[in-house]
Amino acid sequence: MGDRLGTRIPWLSLLFAALLLVLALEPQAEREASVLGWQRSTGSGWQFWSCALVHFSPMHALGDALGLLIGGYWVERQLGPWRLALAWMVVAPLAVLCVSWLQPDVTHVRGASALAVFGLAAAWLSFWRQTVIPRPWLAFTAGLFVTKTVSDALGGYGVSGGTLPEGVQVAWSAHLCAVGCAWMCKSFANEIDSH
């Protein structure tokens, strides 16, 4: 496992983050977002995945891209690009399903924050297990995540620091789903490692 965590460049995370930014800054971004984003009333099956490509604003895309890069830096080096891509392909539709079930008032889903949270949570779980970072700091970051998620769930609007337009809710349920997926993946990986 030592050379797997060496200097490997997380190319999948870099490419996906760059794609998010290009699509957000492209002149037809809003038109593409209305087609690719998931909509409760007219959502198609393929939009469970394509909605992760489009965002409500360039700042929204930038925040998700940074989260993907930070989490992806660690997780892609551990899993490899193909397993991370597979994990993202599972997390994306599950996150949309969680939003549709737990946030029935949300009518549109756009963004890759669930994929970013998945990577960050998986990295956090690795750090906790390996004590790479002192556990009080990890506990503090977990507390920040819980506080933000509860705040988003209770407030719903504008809690994301201005990266979302007025009236757009944070998909806090997608973030919880992503943490659950990261925990299940780490538990599965630990089970495999123990045999």
The 10s digit of each residue's pLDDT in 77-90 is 888 899 999 999 99
Q: What is the pLDDT of residue 2?
A: 43
Q: Could you please report the per-residue DSSP string of 141-183?
A: HHHHHHHHHHHHHHH-BSTTTT-S-TTPBP-HHHHHHHHHHHH
Mean pLDDT of the chain: 84
Which amino acid, 87?
Answer: A
Mean of pLDDT values over 12-31: 91
Distance of CA 73 to the CA centre of its chain: 14
Mean of pLDDT values over 126-149: 82
Three-class DSSP category at 40: coil
Q: What is the pLDDT of residue 7?
A: 57
39 DSSP 8-state letter: E
Q: Which residue has the higher pLDDT, 162 or 1?
A: 162
pLDDT band for position 135 (cuts 50, 70, 90): confident
Name 105's Cβ contacts closer than 8 Å, sequence gap at least 6: 169
pLDDT digits (tens, 9 = 90+) for 63-111: 899 989 988 888 898 888 999 999 999 999 999 999 999 999 888 899 9
The answer on pLDDT for 3 being more than 50 is no
The answer on pLDDT for 19 being more than 80 is yes
- The DSSP H or E segment spanning 38 is strand 38-39
pLDDT band for position 158 (cuts 50, 70, 90): very low
46: nearest Cα among 38, 56, 54, 58: 38
Asked if 165 and 57 touch (Cβ cutoff 8 Å), the reply is yes
What token pair was written down for 90?
């599972």
